[in-house]
Structure 1
């Protein structure tokens, strides 16, 4: 199943349908215990809508190649918890310090305020 999935993604990519190919390659689909349901996790609701709109051709391809006309693809959104934004100067400084700890040395060297 995974081999056919990847072949179809490559075929889409070669024909210029790069967005759909990218959605297919974000995560490998997981075959459910029932043997006919493929579960695919996508990063956001927009990609889910785009994928669901275009998945009929993929389902037809998989059904034909795998000789299983009961195949269904279910998409699930797995969004990370939204990131906390830094608003105050202290929060911004702490965020920069987390990215590059040497900023503390710079602050001390030049006796800078936050």
Structure 2
């Protein structure tokens, strides 16, 4: 599910829909049964997300072959965006997603 979520965000980026892309990538959604729970930092973000939610839902239902999927938006004023601004931050974020990245970096003696 997360892979398709990120592919959809990339698709939005390619089309120039940067706001919706940013809302999708603020944090990783949680899957509980057939409900996708996505936390957003404020009510304004939730309103913007709702405007593109139906398209996202249609995309996910088709790609995952599951028409029971629903998306629940949770507004949590305490979450902070996990944006990576420096090369070190980007590397750390990617290493969280795929720990094999460290092995690749060491094997080929790579820097950031």
The TM-score with structure 1 as length reference comes to 0.67
Aligned pairs (5 A) from 1:21-40: 21-32=21-32, 35-40=33-38
Q: Could you say which residue in structure 2 is the equivalent of 1:92?
A: none
Alignment of 1:33-112 (within 5 A): 35-80=33-78
Q: CA deviation at 1:53?
A: 1.6
Post-superposition shift, 1:68?
0.2
Name the count of aligned residue pairs: 78
Counterparts of 1:12 and 1:65, CA distance in 2: 16
Query: Over alpha carbons, which structure has the higher Rg?
Result: 1
Distance 2:51 2:74 in 1: 14
Distance 2:68 2:17 in 1: 26
Give the TM-score normalised by structure 2.
0.68
Q: What's the CA shift string for 1:81-109, capped at 9, x where partnerless?
A: xxxxxxxxxxxxxxxxxxxxxxxxxxxxx
Cα deviation, residue 54, structure 1: 1.1
Q: Distance in 2 between matches of 1:42 and 1:30?
A: 12
State the Cα RMSD in Å. Answer: 0.6
> For 2:15 and 2:49, how far apart are their aligned partners in 1?
17
